[in-house]
Amino acid sequence: MRFHASVAAAVLALCPLAAVAQTASAPPKTPHTLAPNSAPPQLVQGVAQTPPMGWNSWNFFAGKVTDQDIRNAADQIVTTGMKDAGYVYVNIDDTWEGDRDANGVLHANSKFPDMKALADYVHSRGLKLGIYSSPGPQTCARFAASLDHEVQDAQLYASWGIDYLKYDLCSFREAVMAAQAPNDKPAQMRLMVAAYDKMNKALKSTGRPIVYSFCQYGWDAVWEWGPNVGANLWRTTGDIKPNWQSIYSILNEQAGLAKYAGPGHWNDPDMLEVGNGRLTPAENRAHFSMWAMLAAPLLAGNDLPNMTPEVRAILTNRDVIAIDQDRFGHQATRAYSEGELDVWTRPLSGGAMAIAVINAGSDRYSTHPFHLSLAKLGLHGPLKGKDLWTGKEITLTDNMPIELASHDVLLVRIAAPK
């Protein structure tokens, strides 16, 4: 947590695509000419064929998470209908780690008395358990991490029944990259790639299907090399925060990354903040809609036992989840922006298409409404579709005025775009 500002600056400095990501995308391809994106041959496990869905402890509990919180989250995922809606992974983030014993075997700390029993519990609810480590000597919260114990740790996770690993760069940067290759950025990047590959091979050698999630904030255009060293998903940015500014700026950083996503390998704009902080209902809706448009992992990060019905309705909106989980795995592109409104489109299987219009402004567009140009999307009206938040039919006509509250979204699925 302590290096986020420097990471953000470093991402921009190190990664030329971060700059590309700020520019508008090319017009969308015609949906019916598209086939599913294929996975690189290195991703043989068949996990994460659609973006992983579940819950992670960090965004709400951070360093306070306990075994009981994980059990409660698993229970809630079942009883709130989230499991039926597709949420599967229950992921323990940082601060579960204890000490290594004389044989180098890592033990969980006192907050997690019996990890195998916890995994059994989560599995008994029909869910899967995720865990967290770092390639460095310490995690971001300064707990023991996997440096020089990769195979041992992977075996340990497999013996517990772990199904998902988030591997967070953290102290590897100072302890290995900066120490072994001072002032040599390309050599540092090679060390980083090798470290991710080392854990990849360790995980594969267990024979257990384990989703492999890279968390290195998008360094060195991870979307270009991550899948070749086993990444099923990779963070594209620094840490998300539960406020509009953070969510909207991360959204814009995803423009330009669509071509890197597909079954088995996804861009990860970070975990959901839906229901956290002071996000308004419109902001929660817009955040969830846009993560679905981005084919992002949908990892809720809120306090599930105290979730409001409104937040639950957002997280379990099946129509929106279906956009995220579309089997073709094509991520949305930003078609155009006008004033403070952005229009994103996502081609879907069966020749369908999703269109999202988002109002990033602080005012409602009523006196000077935004007019949606279907021509700019390569379409012409009238087009019948479904408004995925009202559940009602909507007809889009060319240049129709769209009135949206501040930070709200219009999300429409068109079955037969033309």
Residue 150 binds to ligand GLA (criterion: CB under 6 A): no
Please confirm, yes or no, whether 168 is among the known catalytic residues: yes
Residue 69 binds to ligand GLA (criterion: CB under 6 A): no
Q: Are the beta carbons of 240 and 205 closer than 8 angstroms?
A: no
CB of 216 to ligand GLA, least distance (A): 9
Residue 268 binds to ligand GLA (criterion: CB under 6 A): no
Q: Are the beta carbons of 6 and 192 closer than 8 angstroms?
A: no
Other beta carbons less than 10 A from residue 152's beta carbon = 16
What is the dihedral sign for C-alpha 395, 396, 397, 400? Answer: positive
Residue 153 binds to ligand GLA (criterion: CB under 6 A): no
Residue 222 binds to ligand GLA (criterion: CB under 6 A): no
Residue 140 binds to ligand GLA (criterion: CB under 6 A): yes
Please confirm, yes or no, whether 69 is among the known catalytic residues: no
Residue 215 binds to ligand GLA (criterion: CB under 6 A): yes
Instruction: Select 144 or 215, whichever has its Cβ closest to ligand GLA.
Output: 215
Q: Which of the stretches 12-20, 78-86, 135-143, 319-327 binds ligand GLA when contact is defined by CB under 6 A?
A: 135-143
Q: Which value, in Å, is the radius of gyration of the alpha carbons in the chain? A: 21
> Annotated catalytic residue: which of 67, 220, 239, 268?
239
Residue 1 binds to ligand GLA (criterion: CB under 6 A): yes
Interacting residues with ligand GLA between 176 and 205 (CB under 6 A): none
Q: Which of 321, 334, 329 is nearest to 349 (CA)?
A: 329
Report strand pairing: 370-372 vs 383-387.
Answer: unpaired
Report strand pairing: 233-235 vs 211-215.
Answer: parallel
**Contacts of 48 by beta carbon, 8 Å cutoff, 6+ apart:** 211, 232, 233, 263, 264, 265, 266
**Contacts of 179 by beta carbon, 8 Å cutoff, 6+ apart:** none
Residue 168 binds to ligand GLA (criterion: CB under 6 A): yes
> Annotated catalytic residue: which of 94, 168, 324, 408?
168
Residue 19 binds to ligand GLA (criterion: CB under 6 A): no
Q: Which two tokens stand for residue 205?
A: 């050698």
CB of 109 to ligand GLA, least distance (A): 14
Q: Which of the stretches 77-85, 139-147, 178-186, 203-211 binds ligand GLA when contact is defined by CB under 6 A?
A: 139-147
Q: Provide the binding-site residues for ligand GLA, judged by CB under 6 A.
A: 1, 58, 93-94, 139-141, 168, 215, 239
